[in-house]
Structure 1
Amino acid sequence: MAMLKTKQIRNSSSIGFPGGNVKSDVMETRKLRPNIRIATWNVQSLNKAGKTDNAIKEMKRLQIDILGICEMRWLDSGEMPLDGYKAFYSGRTDGAHEDGVGIIMTQKIAAKVKNFPPISERIMLIQLENNPVNINIIQVYAPTLDKADDIVDEMYNTINEIMKKLKKNEINIVMGDFNSKVGEGSTSDAVGPFGLGERNKRGDTLELFASTHELVITNTWFKQPKRRLYTWKSPKDKAEKIIRNQIDFILINKRFRNSCTTVRTYPGADIVSDHTPVVGDFRIRMKKVNKKLMPNFDLRKLKEQGIESKVIKILNEEYQERPKSNAETEMETLQKTIKKIKMNLLKPDRRLKKSWMTEEILELMEKRRLEKGNKVEYLKYQKIIRQRIRQAKENEMIEKCEEIENLQSKHDDFNIYKKVRELTGTNKRKIGRVLVSEEGSLILSVEEKKEEWKKYIEKLFYDTRTDDIPNATGESGPDILEDEVRVAIALLKNRKAAGPDGIQGEFLKLLDNESIKRLTTIFNEIYSSGKIPESWLKSEFIAIPKKASAKTCDDYRTISLMSHILKLFLKIIHKRIYNLCEEQIAPNQFGFLNAVGTREALFSVQVLFQRSRDVNCKVFACLIDYKKAFDRVKHEKMVDILKNIGMDAKTINIIVNLYWNQTAVVKIDGDHTENIKIERGVRQGCVLSPILFNLYSEYIFREALENINEGIALNGIRVNNIRYADDTIVFADTIEGLQTLIDSVVAVSSRFGLEMNVSKTKLLIVSKEHVSGAHLKINNTRIERVAQYTYLGTIINENWENSQEIRCRIEKARAIFNKMSALFKNHNLTLATKIRFLRCYVFSVLLYGVETWTVSQEMTKKLEAFELWLYRRMLKISWTDKITNKEVLRRMNKDTEIVNTVKSRKLQYLGHIMRNRNRYILLQQILQGKINSKRGPGRRRTSWLANLRQWYDKSSAELFRIATNKVRIALMVANIRNG
């Protein structure tokens, strides 16, 4: 470390913080604080194999602590640990590997990162917590000169907004490739005299930006040889015609300009880019900041025999030896015991990630760097490096494939999925974009984010609910039994995130009989009194982006984490009330009920509308979109409904106390907002919420559609709606009838607190002939008519044919295959393993909703062609090889299966419907009932049932009769699969 001598009454410059010079009265020798090296470099892609390792190698060689990257070309935004370093990146969200910025820093400095807002693919911000002064670094990649000025203006407007948010008494650094030339000579306080070349128009823009925010362009303030000033060299640069420019800069606020001791470029650095790194030495005091880190635990260790037995012993002994107390104290005891176990026994083993990069390749990179002046030798080494990288990556792939095969032999699905994610590169930790307020301004600090989320959640769940907690009286349910607790524990799912109390379901499954008995006593105490422990009433909201470009709070979906013990308690309540609630639900509702789901909802809509069209019965359908339906439920009305259906008083009081006393916090960047009161909506993530919402929705539609005789006449009964939770289709055979239905549904929904999203609610008309002049209005606003609509993940259209949906499914499956091509095209995995992954990842996407398809001959050929397209790529067969389909299947050692799967699943589903009359009475009516209309002249279209008649050579009557016989169905399916 360098030494510095200071003499009496001699001034020395301040280091790392503002203020005057420091005076020293005596001669003393002191150690200089170590410099921090900050650099920026346009690397022209880190998306190529070996480039990231190359960047790390250069950082070590040049002793760079923080390296800003331009043209990183990584997708999305997030952070990634590297070998002793950490990368933060912000890229495009449209799948294009272009632009992108990033910052790589040492792990020691990365521990000081308190905030990382990825603004866009051109701008990102890193905020470092430091003492005495925090550091803010903005990394920028400006558009090249061929891009429109509007894009440049937009970029500077965004940076201006960020700068206004940053504190002036903190160190603010803006750096990157600005694609601007400020030129030689000082023209203001922002630009020094030691620039390079001539200024251009964008150089004026950069100077104006720097002056506005009191920044200095550090490159221009240090006298250096010209080879230490240029940052970009043209591919046409020659000894006789030098074309080099200074377009990359590091800017710092004037207040801290003295902390920068020198800035220069290093043309000897090499990463196969025409830019050179701009490196600045900064005397900045970097003090250790203690950050509270959330500990990680490996719950899979509970499956290890030695650890499992220890945990069972400690958990039960410590829980039982404590004296019995009230519910709140009992929960605290259990919480402390489990926390102690996790800290002592379940800490994850530290496993160093093995890198494919070899020392030989790094040495070759160094040799290539030394030959930068010799183009022939440089290209020779570049060719060798590419070959070595290809071989190293191949060796890594072989190792990973061997690991997957080994895990598959052990049936370890959890680690198989983990390895597949590693293999396909989908294991990066992604971070959402920067948050924007309702007014449209950027929100950068964690405190501002917390305040914005608090305001949003308060507004979302605010209601004029009475503060007086309703109390139900009357019949009470029986005490909770130990067997009920055991059954509920067995139903708890593993690997679910814990609530605020930190207790996971895996620990509850290790309770012995005595502990379960004690827990049952606590449950009965709570059930009888209706008083719920405070720790159960607090939920933790996690914000998940609905889309890649999420900006405002409304663009996020909040997922609630709650106590697993509360989930256990409510599972018992749910089992008791389910049948009572289900009796109230109409057969038109397919959401959150046993034995029905999206498949049944899609089947009902597809077949009913298809049959209506075939007999010239027009269908006028309104596809309703409610605004946050689950969050708008009025608690008082919900309690009235529970009393109305005859639910027992104990259960109602539990639900009332749960809803009236609940609070929530939002987790933001590892921190939490203040407690927020929830005054409306069903509880997110709660076991009871689905059935409670179904009841609420049922009462809305029961009241709205009462005494309205509109819809499609099916066996003389009007069917006018199909629902999956809040995803609702209301329909009629006339536009006037639909308007009557919608007016009533809108009015009643409003009284129950639900509001329709008029902009997203659509009108779809299904008819053989085009219908014009039909309009639908909600609150005097005309609803948009669409030719197609995505309902429950499938496309429905006014022509009512499945060809478009099947084409869409094929393309979605193709996209998944291409995304995972590293897995499917790898020759180191056995065909059996690849086929298993193909069925798991690709066929599952392709065949979503297959039971509802009506498949034409053309679509059958497309499905077969797509399957063979997959096999050809798995075998790496080019279209120029002229290999027959028969030979492809021989090499795959299998027959085609997709079309046979479609045929067998449709037949099995018919059997499923016909054998369960009570459950599927509406589906049977839709399939077999008579629609009050007549078929027109002309050839019939292929229908859902016609597919089965053609494939199995049976009449409709025969199919309905066979469908009730499970053995006959199984035989017919076996015949199809066996060809």
Structure 2
Amino acid sequence: MNQQNGQRHRDEEERRASTSLKILMDISPSKNQTMAELRAKYKSGVSLPIGSPGETVMSLPLPERDGRKESRIKIGTWNVKTMAKPGKIYNATKEMRRLKVHIMGISEMRWPGTGVMDIDEHKVYYSGTQNDTHEYGVGFIVHKSFSQKIKNFIPVSERIIVIQIEAKPVNINLIQIYAPTFDHPDSEVEELYDNIAQIQEKIPKHEITILMGDFNAKLGKGNKTDYIGSQGLGDRNERGDMLENFIEHQEMVALNTFFQQPPRRLYTWRSPQDRPEKVVRNQIDFILINKRYRNCCTSMRTYPGADINSDHVPVIGEFRAKMKTTKRKTQKRCNMRLMKEPKIREEVSHILNEKMENVEENAPIEEQLEFINEMIQNIKDEYLKEDVSREKKKTWMTDNILNLMEERRMNKGNTIEYRRLNNQIRKEIREAKEKEKTQNCLEIEAYQRMYDDFNVHRKVKEVTGRFKRRQYGKLLDKDGKIIIEQQEKKERWMQYVEELFEDDRGMMDEITGDSGPSIMENEVEIAIKQMKEGKAAGPDNLEIEFMKLLNETGVKKLTKMYNKIYETGILPQPWLTSEFITLPKSTGAKRCEEYRTISLMSHLLKLFLKIIHRRIYKLCEEQIAPNQFGFLNAVGTREALFSVQVLIQRSRDVNSNVFACLIDYKKAFDRVKHEMMVEILKQIGTDARTINIITNLYWNQTAVLKIDGEHTDEVQILRGVRQGCVLSPILFNLYSEHIFREALNDMEEGIPINGIRLNNLRYADDTIMLADTIEGLQKLMTKIAEVSSSYGLDINASKTKLMIISKEQISSDAQIIVNQVRIERVTQCQYLGTCINEAWDNSQEVKCRIAKARNVFNSMDSVFKSHNLTLDTKTRLLKCYVFSVLLYGVETWTLTEAITNKLRAFELWLYRRMLRISWIQKITNAEVLRRMNKEAGRKILRDEKCKSLLY
């Protein structure tokens, strides 16, 4: 009876498989042919599909259309022990070419940070630690023919990385992992599996998910279940039980265990105790797939002949899949540096001014802008073609080294010869890298002789690795769960921006009056000269460099267009939409709050607002108190620090206590209320036309966010000053000035100085409140918190700090309460990039400066210690990169003998390493200074301080 039931069940499966084949694959073979194919497959040793009747969409043979055969891709995983050693990445790509692997997942990559890199004809995606340590790490090496199909890349952690591939008929999700080893507690393994499960919850159930990597677990042989085959290796361990539970819960199958292979094609790891007389090898690397798609894998085995100097061997499977033909939108790039060449600049200027004469002055503003944009794009296409510097970068890797790697692979069985070849490869790599460094240094010298500072610094950053690479990271939703799908990312960002700029703003008031003189041509000319070059273009992709080429006729056309906008107060619609890009505030940013949104806007709009800024700057500056140092001409952070230093030092000289509260506002620039801002502009006497322009700009503005190359829908901005706008700094200063003026106008608390009481010092929103008693400081903070809140700015009590500078011992009971939260009292903290402390001792700050400068020097030692750069070039680079870090804030230091000696010792430490003088050589400091053509270190400090005082 059981046999009859089993036969009926198999017949039913075959019947349904035949039906699915016809419907899903859009082919119509005869029933007998389909049944024959299925029977042949069942007899071939490949197990029946689990969880679905017959075969699945992906497991069925793809039909031949127009003479094209089914697509097969080879996907593998490999623990390489480390990719941090020079040359190993090229070794990996060489092995991928030899084994014809399209995608290789890497465990123990050991590259810090996250990113994407091009290596030969491959693209490398990696995810490592966020603390710059070469530990753990995972990645993918993808052939470039497949890299265009990758629609998403998520570096989850140093143990998990995800890429999503667009395929037919369903997408493929690849997850590469590196599980903790046995010296780590089981709790870490459980946490890893929980994180993977969260990721899989976010992946659509109908899509293929392939999970692979070094699991550091043994499933063993003969433990056959619906999820684990009988072709395992060795004995199971406790981690293997944990892996099996995870596999069953996620309804996946371990593909390694379903394909019958000799033991040599099953083991993935060779123990250090492995010997010819005693074989110690295990299967701890696996490739898992959703059970419904198991049969899309046609083969799976290890390749012990592959070599990368690792004790693991790659596991590679062949899968039936078909990639989607995708055409991604790529922004046209142009080489704006070609504008520096006189001939090209002259030609572009001639064409530009000739076509500007055709701008129809009576046409609507939008049509004029469209004509200008189209004209400039045509010029860029013709004269400023794609930047040639973006061509494929030459590598130090040579064919000789690759041949030696192949020879080493052929001698894996000969330990002595293998070690000899490995040492030779390392020697060849050192020589090749030294040759490349020499060539780069010669190029730096060549640029230096041509006074080409741009390329000098570009090359220095290239040699020292100081280029800022794009940072990739995962994004969490409000509940702390990871976001995988691109659409969900865009929706989360839109939700965040809407909440960030949400406000109960009223309707825009009608501005009456036409006060405000028309814009003059010389105003446009001055504004064009003051605009900085090399800035990112806005949504219209128009750079200010072209406006700098306009002749008198072109300026006249631009002036008339600006006057038409200024007189009507109506801004063109393209100007009202900004493009937000997101930049992480710190390494490892995960939530939207941990990113900074930067606005990119049209350069023509920036130019127009620059004219408005020049008109209102003096009026606004007159309203700003002298204790505000932010965004003002002739003052900056150094002056703010100097003022704090002088004020507190004078208080200490007369034995007066200083109670200071360092205020931190929550998103201060994004919380400005538009109605109050416009009202303040009216109060100070701003003309009607300017107010009308600013009002229309803020009430009608929208923004789109650019997330991984894709734009979101428009979001309305209801509060906050515009990021990246030339008006924003002065408008914020004016706004905050009225807050402090209203709050502190009748307050008598503060520190007495020259007959007045000073109670605050500010740099933009970075504020220090000051008083000579704790009670006085409490009154100031209470009033500031109250008035700031009424203006929309809230104090972040958790980040606001209390510091007491006194020569006597102050009781720990002294406290400040803000918004019913006790402010933390600290002995030292950071203010404007410097370290200040209760003892008001500069020695701690000097130590920090020396440590930071030493880190910069060590990161650039390939330049400073090079024999191929002249001493003059190295000295200029030292002053630019190291001394600028070392001497920041030196104007505020009290230079004691001890501090001066520390700085002088560090300066000589730098010179000795630049001259490559060993510590065992008996070279005097005087001789070192003579060789460097320098005087004693005290002169540098004296010069820096005198410069500031003279200024």
Match of 1:415 in 2: 455
C-alpha separation in 1, matches of 2:59 and 2:279: 43
TM-score, normalised on structure 2?
0.93
Match of 2:174 in 1: 137
Q: 2:378 aligns with which of 340, 364, 384?
A: 340
Match of 1:307 in 2: 344
C-alpha separation in 1, matches of 2:762 and 2:786: 18
**1:293-320, Cα deviation, whole Å (9 max, x unpaired):** 2222211112223332332233233332
C-alpha separation in 1, matches of 2:641 and 2:858: 28
C-alpha separation in 2, matches of 1:21 and 1:236: 41
Deviation of the 1:24 alpha carbon: 12
3-state secondary structure, aligned to 2:380: helix
Note the residue ranges of structure 2 that are not aligned, 5 or more in a row: 1-28, 42-48
Match of 2:932 in 1: 892
Whether the 8 Å CA contact 1:7–1:24 is kept in 2: the answer is no
**1:631-677, Cα deviation, whole Å (9 max, x unpaired):** 11111111111010011111111100010000011110001111111
C-alpha separation in 2, matches of 1:58 and 1:565: 52
Matched, 1:815 2:817: no
Whether the 8 Å CA contact 2:73–2:102 is kept in 1: the answer is yes
Whether the 8 Å CA contact 1:70–1:141 is kept in 2: the answer is yes
Deviation of the 1:795 alpha carbon: 0.6
C-alpha separation in 2, matches of 1:225 and 1:577: 82
**1:926-977, Cα deviation, whole Å (9 max, x unpaired):** xxxxxxxxxxxxxxxxxxxxxxxxxxxxxxxxxxxxxxxxxxxxxxxxxxxx
Whether the 8 Å CA contact 2:660–2:803 is kept in 1: the answer is yes
Match of 2:512 in 1: 473
Deviation of the 1:834 alpha carbon: 1.4
C-alpha separation in 1, matches of 2:267 and 2:467: 38
Deviation of the 1:780 alpha carbon: 2.2
Letter of the structure 2 residue corresponding to residue 72 of structure 1: M
Match of 1:111 in 2: 148
For residues 132 and 427 of structure 1, do their structure 2 counterparts lie closer, same or farther at Cα, with a shift above 3 Å needed?
Answer: farther
**1:195-237, Cα deviation, whole Å (9 max, x unpaired):** 1111111111212222222211111111111111111111221
Letter of the structure 2 residue corresponding to residue 97 of structure 1: H
Structural RMSD (CA): 2.0
Deviates more, 1:235-244 or 1:83-92: 235-244
C-alpha separation in 2, matches of 1:22 and 1:492: 62
Q: 1:65 aligns with which of 102, 106, 111?
A: 102
Letter of the structure 1 residue corresponding to residue 766 of structure 2: D
Whether the 8 Å CA contact 1:625–1:761 is kept in 2: the answer is yes
Q: 1:458 aligns with which of 486, 495, 498?
A: 498
For residues 130 and 312 of structure 1, do their structure 2 counterparts lie closer, same or farther at Cα, with a shift above 3 Å needed?
Answer: farther
C-alpha separation in 1, matches of 2:313 and 2:578: 51
Match of 1:945 in 2: none
Matched, 1:859 2:882: no
Letter of the structure 2 residue corresponding to residue 705 of structure 1: L
Match of 1:255 in 2: 292
Matched, 1:521 2:560: yes
Matches within 5 A, 1:606-755: 606-755=645-794
Matched, 1:150 2:187: yes
Letter of the structure 1 residue corresponding to residue 655 of structure 2: N
Matched, 1:195 2:232: yes
For residues 185 and 347 of structure 1, do their structure 2 counterparts lie closer, same or farther at Cα, with a shift above 3 Å needed?
Answer: farther
Deviation of the 1:17 alpha carbon: 9.1
Letter of the structure 2 residue corresponding to residue 823 of structure 1: V
Match of 1:956 in 2: none
Deviation of the 1:475 alpha carbon: 6.1
Letter of the structure 2 residue corresponding to residue 473 of structure 1: T
C-alpha separation in 1, matches of 2:855 and 2:428: 30
Deviation of the 1:888 alpha carbon: 3.0
Q: 1:36 aligns with which of 73, 93, 97?
A: 73
For residues 268 and 757 of structure 1, do their structure 2 counterparts lie closer, same or farther at Cα, with a shift above 3 Å needed?
Answer: same
Matched, 1:511 2:534: no
Matches within 5 A, 1:181-260: 181-260=218-297
Match of 1:961 in 2: none
Match of 1:971 in 2: none
Match of 1:572 in 2: 611
Deviation of the 1:508 alpha carbon: 1.2
Deviation of the 1:515 alpha carbon: 1.5
C-alpha separation in 1, matches of 2:443 and 2:31: 68
Q: 2:441 aligns with which of 397, 401, 407?
A: 401
Match of 1:530 in 2: 569
C-alpha separation in 1, matches of 2:931 and 2:236: 64
C-alpha separation in 2, matches of 1:474 and 1:530: 11
Whether the 8 Å CA contact 1:80–1:429 is kept in 2: the answer is no
C-alpha separation in 2, matches of 1:254 and 1:501: 49
Match of 2:539 in 1: 500
Deviation of the 1:441 alpha carbon: 0.7
C-alpha separation in 2, matches of 1:20 and 1:699: 67
Whether the 8 Å CA contact 2:637–2:763 is kept in 1: the answer is yes
Match of 1:167 in 2: 204
Match of 1:10 in 2: 33
C-alpha separation in 2, matches of 1:646 and 1:373: 87
Aligned length: 904
Whether the 8 Å CA contact 2:62–2:70 is kept in 1: the answer is no
Match of 2:808 in 1: 769
Matched, 1:429 2:466: no
C-alpha separation in 1, matches of 2:673 and 2:72: 61
Deviates more, 1:323-332 or 1:548-557: 323-332
Matches within 5 A, 1:77-96: 77-96=114-133
Whether the 8 Å CA contact 2:300–2:315 is kept in 1: the answer is yes
3-state secondary structure, aligned to 1:208: helix
For residues 367 and 852 of structure 1, do their structure 2 counterparts lie closer, same or farther at Cα, with a shift above 3 Å needed?
Answer: same
3-state secondary structure, aligned to 2:168: coil
Whether the 8 Å CA contact 2:59–2:295 is kept in 1: the answer is no
Letter of the structure 2 residue corresponding to residue 135 of structure 1: I
Q: 1:121 aligns with which of 158, 166, 169?
A: 158
3-state secondary structure, aligned to 1:429: coil
C-alpha separation in 2, matches of 1:837 and 1:406: 15
For residues 144 and 896 of structure 1, do their structure 2 counterparts lie closer, same or farther at Cα, with a shift above 3 Å needed?
Answer: farther
C-alpha separation in 1, matches of 2:900 and 2:781: 39
C-alpha separation in 2, matches of 1:796 and 1:269: 57
Whether the 8 Å CA contact 1:591–1:725 is kept in 2: the answer is yes
For residues 9 and 751 of structure 1, do their structure 2 counterparts lie closer, same or farther at Cα, with a shift above 3 Å needed?
Answer: same
Deviates more, 1:112-121 or 1:822-831: 822-831
C-alpha separation in 2, matches of 1:266 and 1:890: 62
Match of 2:844 in 1: 804
Whether the 8 Å CA contact 2:665–2:794 is kept in 1: the answer is yes
Note the residue ranges of structure 1 that are not aligned, 5 or more in a row: 1-5, 913-979
C-alpha separation in 2, matches of 1:9 and 1:305: 76
Q: 1:549 aligns with which of 548, 565, 588?
A: 588
C-alpha separation in 1, matches of 2:86 and 2:438: 17
Whether the 8 Å CA contact 2:396–2:436 is kept in 1: the answer is yes
Q: 1:278 aligns with which of 282, 307, 315?
A: 315
Deviation of the 1:528 alpha carbon: 0.5
C-alpha separation in 2, matches of 1:734 and 1:905: 36
Matches within 5 A, 1:927-942: none
Matched, 1:439 2:479: yes
Deviation of the 1:257 alpha carbon: 1.3
Deviation of the 1:852 alpha carbon: 0.9
C-alpha separation in 2, matches of 1:383 and 1:462: 63
For residues 241 and 637 of structure 1, do their structure 2 counterparts lie closer, same or farther at Cα, with a shift above 3 Å needed?
Answer: same
Whether the 8 Å CA contact 1:85–1:107 is kept in 2: the answer is yes
Q: Work out the percentage of aligned pairs sharing the same amino acid.
A: 57
TM-score, normalised on structure 1?
0.90
Deviation of the 1:28 alpha carbon: 12
